[in-house]
Amino acid sequence: MKAEAAAFAVLAKDAFTGKQFGRFEVLCKLGEGGMSEVFLAWQKSVGGFHRPVVLKRILDSIRHDKEFLRMFVQEAKITSGLSHGNIAALHDLSQEGPELFMVMEFVPGATLVEVAKACALAREEIPIGLTLAAVRDTALALHYAHTFKDATGRSRPVIHRDIAEKNVMVSLDGTTKLLDFGIARQAGRTCTTQMGMVKGTAGYMSPEQVRGEELDGRTDVFSLGVVLHECLTGHRLFRRDTRVDEVHALLNDPISAPSQRNRKVSMELDSVVLKALSRDRNHRYANAREMALALDRAAAAQMWEPDQRAAFIQKHFAERQQQIQQLLGDPSRTDSGEQLDHGGEPLDYSRPTDPGSPAKQALRDARRTVSVRKVTPDPIVTSSATMALDDETVVGEGESDLERELREAHERETELEGAPARGLLAFKGRRPESALSPALLAIAGTGAVLLAIVLLLILSRL
């Protein structure tokens, strides 16, 4: 237990505990990256609804950087449509004052990096059965992303571009989850990466990714091959003393079969790994599903079932499980029969809301791929200053600094894609051009009355 606590981050109350983001109550900070930080939080709602979620927000130091803001929103837009059992879900993109954050699925478990570390501490090899099942499931998740279609049936393939052990997690119940689409991009979109910059994790990028070439799903197949090789052998494949040496190794050094380091690896499994690691993408598996099927054919008998994976994670990460239980505990909740207080008034579902709100909300919902809203005490009344995150931008009154930056970032993104942002003009109080003016209506009414009188006089003489 002590060794585990020293080797892995401790999940415990910290300076962020109790901080409120609207309906979200922070439990602790989970980590920080180059662009964002993540927190474990409770999401609470009416009727005692509650669930643990992960909040991901942009770091304060770059909050007003339009390029980082664009990337953050783009990640949410890309991830929001993905719905697969082996991909950590994005629930929402929310705004609270100056804060913009993603609301994501909380996956209690351990990444493959942590699994490798736990096995090293226990002086044991990473179980082949766990490795095979995790990589097979990740391959299926990638194939889903690579062949993704939106709700209208349009093809929207998503390339992850950052497949590595750090982004593959095995949960406490044995489920594999693919994490972090932070640098993912949709195939066919214009890439805005600066000249000379390559996005990805050193030692895991495909040769074509390192060279800055146009990418397709096969780049993720190569990266997953690196993960498979390293988990089977227990050694980094392309790690060298310098970044230049790593790139040279990735592009030129011979790639040994995993069985040379691990005698438990069969020749059939060697073949799967080496094909995935072909430097010429045309010689790799055509897609990630082919790789998953090849793994099944080569080593189906060795793959662990979910209960075996769960037992392994629960054994090696028992202290983490206890920390999660202590953090979550029994959250304060309200019985479903009790009215909850929202902004000083009971929430009355029978009371009509602002007549204009449902129509405005319906328009915004129809144009959204991700909902961006202000998190306010009243969940029914939403801000009139909202931004549509698809092809059109709705600009409302009372626009905050963050909302303006979001709109400008979105407009910049659509310009880069070659599709100029189109404004939606709201005609407030304007009559249809075909409508008659009050004066014309009055004249027409008077004429009708006179005509009726004349007809009556004629009839009376008859």
Q: Give me the CATH number covering residue 214.
A: 1.10.510.10
Model confidence at 382, in pLDDT bands (50, 70, 90)?
A: very low
Q: Tell me: the pLDDT tens digits for 397-410?
A: 455 565 565 566 55
Burial environment of residue 256 by CB neighbours within 10 A (0 to 12, 13 to 18, 19 or more): middle
For residue 269, tell me if it sits in a domain.
yes
Say yes or no to pLDDT of 250 above 90: yes
C-alpha 392/C-alpha 34 separation (Å) is: 30
C-alpha span between 210 and 226 (Å, rounded): 15
| Most confident region among 224-228, 350-354, 355-359, 432-436 by mean pLDDT | 224-228
* pLDDT score, position 295: 98
- Residue 260: inside a domain, yes or no? yes
pLDDT at 446 over 70: no
244: in domain: yes
Number of domains composing the chain: 1
Distance in angstroms (rounded) separating the CA atoms of residues 376 and 22 = 6
Q: In the chain, what percentage of residues exceed pLDDT 90? A: 50
CA of 308: how far to CAs of 20, 113, 177, 314, in Å? 38, 19, 16, 10
In the annotation, is 150 catalytic?
Answer: no
pLDDT the model gives residue 400: 58
Determine, yes or no, domain membership for 21: no
Q: Which of 77-91, 326-340, 441-455 has the highest mean pLDDT?
A: 77-91
- Residue 34: pLDDT band (50, 70, 90) is confident
- In whole angstroms, give the CA distance from residue 187 to residue 379: 36
DSSP reduced 3-state for 75: helix
Q: Is the pLDDT of residue 331 over 70?
A: no
- In a domain? residue 99: no
Alpha-carbon distance 21 to 24, whole Å? 5
Position 148 in a domain: yes
Q: Who wins on pLDDT, 419 or 454?
A: 454
Residue 215 domain boundaries: 108-190+198-333
> What is the model's pLDDT at position 434?
45
φ/ψ of 386, rounded to 5, equals -125, 160
User: Does residue 308 fall inside a structural domain?
Assistant: yes
pTM value is 0.71
**Distance, CA of 246 to CA of 201 (rounded, Å):** 11
Query: Is pLDDT at 385 greater than 60 in this prediction?
Result: no
What are the CA-CA distances from residue 316 to residues 32, 86, 168, 179, 393 (Å)? 24, 22, 17, 21, 49
pLDDT tens per residue, range 280-326:
999 999 999 999 999 999 999 999 999 999 999 999 999 999 999 99
For 404-413, b/e burial (b = at least 16 CB within 10 A) is ebbbbbbbbb
Average pLDDT score over the chain: 77
- Say how far apart CA 341 and CA 250 lie, in whole Å: 59
**Which entry of 162, 180, 220, 270 is annotated as an active-site residue?**
162
Flag whether 29 is in a domain.
no
